[in-house]
Structure 1
Amino acid sequence: MTWDEKEEWRQKFLKVLAGFRLLDDDFMTAVFQESLECVDLVLQIILNKPNIKATKAIVQDTLKNLHGRSVRLDIHAWADGQEFNVEIQRSGKGALERRARYNSSLIDANVLLAGEDYDKLPESYVIFITETDVLGEGQPMYVVRRTIEGSGTVFGDGSHIIYVNSSMADEDSPLGRLMHDFRCTRAEDMHYEVLANRVMYFKETEEGASAMCEAMELLTDEAEKRGMERGMERGMEQGKESERIFSIRNIMANLQLTAEKAMDVLSIPKSEQARYKAML
């Protein structure tokens, strides 16, 4: 791209950036990266443990099983001898019950060294923060534990799965205020200062906004490159159309964006967006 084209793309992206929320995967990644304070806040409120402090956190951490099948953890954290995976999911498909089981199993599989006893396994938590009520029972939070049938006694294997339904943002509770903040687009509307400051940095400072623009430009370039390759595979006549469809889908998946926002990032004219949306 020429300098003018890059500047035009940057201005369009800044408009898209203004609409990002912590429920948008890549924006959440930027906000939580290198910010243990943000991780602490989420764990403290969801677990109702005001004193818990993370000693380490990795965003977009990749774990693999023995067959090479990998999973990318949005937030992988350690605190007070426990291990945590926090997942941000806008689509119900990404938060299926067996996805929670799989994440939990991979965390466990990567803990013990050869010869170590099973009682060395730490307590583990897989926490899904979802845009909609994935489990469909109208609760703001679902705490899932294994129990013994008949007695209902908790089976103490140390694994925990929690679903947080962000659509129930009751601002009279700490959890509701946190979910309100996850759905906010403006830092000034947020309740928790530690989150508001990070959002403000990436949206309202030149340094932070430029960092987001550079990261998104790399992702967009990669999506377009892969789209071009896919288009070439399908023939020259349909190549451009295939390229754009693949790029839109790639941006939607990687950035957790709506089709409209993805097409804005790719600078697809508004007059053409309805046609491409119908083909998705």
Structure 2
Amino acid sequence: MIAVRKAIYDIERMNMATGEIFNDGSYILYINGTYRGDDEIGNLMHDFSCSDPDDMINKELADRTRYFKETEEGVEAVCKVMEDMREEAKKEEHIDTTLNNIKNLMETLKLSVDQAMDALKIPMSERNIFLDRL
């Protein structure tokens, strides 16, 4: 296969057994992050790879990047987003761990889902979180 170095690739999902296009309504665009053509996409990919806003081509993107990297307000905003992401990841990890514990109790001790959640002392107000994912 010859490597094509395009900026954008239209991707179609295909049924590999029949070779037919899988028309599920999804539309996938692959943007080649290594593309560096002399056009808008090439300039954007260049700017996305820059750690220093002064090296960027697009002034608006450089200014916004500079705000988030070099001003107290911008740095605080980024830190807040990162902290929110960490908290969300912790919640998801707790949910995943609890789901595994529920499943293990059900399988090993042959408990019902309610009995497993009782054994784990899961409050009634939180049970739908787990029931929706089982």
TM-score scaled to structure 1, two decimals? 0.26
Shift of the 207–140 alpha-carbon distance from structure 1 to 2, 3 Å rule, reads: same
* CA distance in structure 2 between the partners assigned to 1:230 and 1:187 by the alignment: 39
* CA distance in structure 1 between the partners assigned to 2:97 and 2:28 by the alignment: 41
Gaps of 5+ in 2: 12-26, 102-134
Task: Tell me which of 2, 5, 8 is aligned to 1:141.
Answer: 8
Provide the residue aligned with 2:81 in structure 1.
Answer: 215
Structure 1 residue 164 displacement after superposition: 3.7
Provide the residue aligned with 1:181 in structure 2.
Answer: 47
- The total of aligned residue pairs comes to 84
* CA distance in structure 1 between the partners assigned to 2:89 and 2:83 by the alignment: 10
Rg larger in structure = 2
Could you tell me the percent identity over the aligned residues?
Answer: 38
Structure richer in strand, relative to its length:
1
Structure 1 residue 143 displacement after superposition: 6.9
* Superimposed CA distance per residue, residues 27-59 of structure 1 (whole angstroms, 9 cap, x where no aligned partner): xxxxxxxxxxxxxxxxxxxxxxxxxxxxxxxxx
Structure richer in helix, relative to its length:
2
After superposition, the CA RMSD in angstroms is 2.7
TM-score scaled to structure 2, two decimals? 0.51
Provide the residue aligned with 2:99 in structure 1.
Answer: 233
* CA distance in structure 2 between the partners assigned to 1:227 and 1:163 by the alignment: 30
Q: 1:1-280 alignment to 2 at 5 Å? A: 137-142=4-9, 163-170=30-37, 172-235=38-101
Structure 1 residue 186 displacement after superposition: 2.0
The one of the two structures with greater contact order (alpha-carbon pairs below 8 A, sep at least 6) is 1
